[in-house]
A and B are shown apart, each in its own frame.
Chain A
Amino acid sequence: DIVLTQSPALAVSLKQRATISCKTSQNVDIFGISYMHWYQQKPGQQPKLLIYEGSNLASGIPARFSGSGSGTDFTLTIDPVEADDIATYYCQQSKDYPRTFGGGTKLELK
């Protein structure tokens, strides 16, 4: 299985930049497409798709969210952070079965 590793938590101030990383145990790119996706989950809610295929913004997601990276190293950036962004963020790969998720990064306020 492809293992995705995220830092458990990140403390950030409002209106600052948050950078959340995800490292994979194997390359998740195929022919230039990164099969890496990002989700936001708030307590008691289902996850919400933010970024797909590494860097594409999902429908309805504010432009302060962006994704970058390739191969085995990926980043989700939130700039600037707003109060509504306090949540847990998960990366997920779809290059191989089984689909796997990172352990999640909980974004907290400083």
Chain B
Amino acid sequence: EVQLQQSGAELVKPGASVKLSCKTSGYTFSNYYMSWLKQMPGQNIEWIGDIYGGNGGTAYNQKFKGKATLTVDKSSSTAYMDLSSLTSEDSAVYFCSREDNNYYFDYWGQGVMVTVSS
């Protein structure tokens, strides 16, 4: 069974950084892309970027370049996203999601709420 388990909720101060994790199981991590997505309360879903589990190759939404950095640890089948210089506009739920071969999102993590507040 494919599973994506995300780390817990984060409360961070403005200007700080946070690192989110997405631990996977049930499939060959290095054969798939992993995407990260953002959803502000009551809002649309935004695609942040993706990373290939095999070689760590990345693609980013221009909107999130400089804000998000995606990495993977193949040894633990875990994907990570660093968010830097956090502001209130970064308060949102962040999802990781596996991409199937035609780049639709077939499995999702449960989401993690990031709250930026002093």
Contacts and interface: CB of A to CB of B under 8 A. Distances in A.
Interface of A: 33, 35, 37, 39, 46-49, 52-53, 58, 90, 92, 94, 97-104
Nearest to A53: B102
Interface of B: 35, 44-47, 50, 59, 61-63, 95, 97, 99-100, 102-106, 108-111
B54 to A, nearest CB: 19
A52 B103 CA distance: 10
Given A39-B105, A47-B95, A101-B47, 10 more contacts: A46-B97, A46-B110, A47-B45, A53-B102, A58-B106, A90-B45, A92-B105, A94-B99, A97-B61, A98-B61
Contacts of B59: 97
Given A97-B59, A98-B62, A99-B35, A49 B104 contact: yes
